[in-house]
Amino acid sequence: MAKEAVKKIKLQIEAGKANPAPPVGTVLGPAGINLQDFCTKYNDATRDKMGDVLPVEISIYEDRSFDFVIKTPPTAFLLKKYAKVKKGSVKGSKETVATISKATLKEIAEIKLPDLNAYDVEEAMKIVAGTAKNMGIAIEGEE
């Protein structure tokens, strides 16, 4: 019989830098799982993506064992990284803080495709373009 998850916890942790200190410890400590064990497994699994912020979904079972699924980095994080800006526009789409190319937009959409509610890269590009617009990041060739 498959184990049934008692609790599901979602966190965003920088790849390869999980440690038992807050915020990881304060969220997972009350769940009763071995913090050091989680941090070691997470850091080993994300070592190749150092520097990226990765959402992780942790399933905790009755016997205090756990599984986790690592998702793709948030769209906003990827847009800031590729546009080389610290943060998006304060005024949203009314102010442009950076510009990215269509090729960059497609690259981000391909990275995000497994986690988006889209069937192909074209649809994913529209979703990412909407996020970019709201962050004040323009796409070359679009108004």
**Domain locations along the chain:** 5-70, 75-139
- Indicate if the pLDDT at residue 1 is higher than 80: no
Spelled out in words, what is the top-level CATH class assigned to the domain 75-139? mainly alpha
- Top pLDDT among 110 and 4 is at 110
User: Which pLDDT tens digit goes with each residue over 27-61?
Assistant: 888 888 888 888 888 888 888 888 888 888 988 88
Average pLDDT on 53-79 reads 87
Task: Indicate yes or no: pTM above 0.85.
Answer: no
Contacts 24+ apart (CB under 8 A), 91-99: 91/136, 92/134, 92/135, 92/136, 93/133, 93/134, 93/136, 94/136, 95/136, 96/136, 96/137, 96/138, 97/135, 97/136, 97/137, 98/136, 98/137, 98/138, 99/137, 99/138, 99/139, 99/140
Spelled out in words, what is the top-level CATH class assigned to the domain 5-70? alpha beta
